[in-house]
Amino acid sequence: MMMHHTLNITSSDIIDHLKLSYQLPEILQAIASQKIVSEAAEEEGITVTSQEIQQEADNLRLNKKLVKAQDTLLWLKQHYLSEHDFEASIRHQILARKLASHLFTSQVERFFYQNQQNYVTAVTYEVILDDIDVALEIFYAIEECEITFPEVARMYISDSELRRVYGYQGVRHRKDFRPEIAWAVFAASPPQIIKPIVTTKGVYLIWVEEIFQPQLDEQLREKIISELFEDWLKKEIQLLVIKTHLDGDAIPPSEQLLNHA
Separation between Cα atoms, residue 231 and residue 233, nearest integer Å: 5
| pLDDT given for residue 61 in this prediction | 92
Residue pair 86/57 in contact (Cβ under 8 Å)? The answer is: yes
Residue 162 φ then ψ, to 5°: -70, -35
| pLDDT given for residue 245 in this prediction | 57
| pLDDT given for residue 253 in this prediction | 44
* CATH class entry, domain 121-212: alpha beta
| pLDDT given for residue 5 in this prediction | 75
| pLDDT given for residue 239 in this prediction | 82
Nearest-CA neighbor of 141 among 204, 198, 209, 205? 205
| pLDDT given for residue 252 in this prediction | 47
- For the chain, the domains span 11-110+218-257, 121-212
| pLDDT given for residue 248 in this prediction | 45
> Please, what is the Cα angle at 36 between 35 and 41, to 5 degrees?
100
| pLDDT given for residue 250 in this prediction | 47
Q: Tell whether omega for the bond before 191 is within 30 degrees of 0, i.e. cis.
A: yes
Q: Per-residue pLDDT tens for 45-84?
A: 999 999 999 999 999 999 999 989 899 999 999 999 999 9
Sign (positive or negative) of CA dihedral 150, 155, 160, 162 = negative
Residue stretches of the chain with pLDDT short of 70: 1-4, 241-261
Q: Which residues of 14-27 are buried (b: 16+ CB within 10 A; e: fewer)?
A: ebeebeeeeebbee
Element (H, E) at 230: helix 218-238
Nearest-CA neighbor of 126 among 56, 201, 189? 201
| pLDDT given for residue 2 in this prediction | 56
| pLDDT given for residue 1 in this prediction | 53
**CA gyration radius for the chain?**
26
| pLDDT given for residue 7 in this prediction | 82
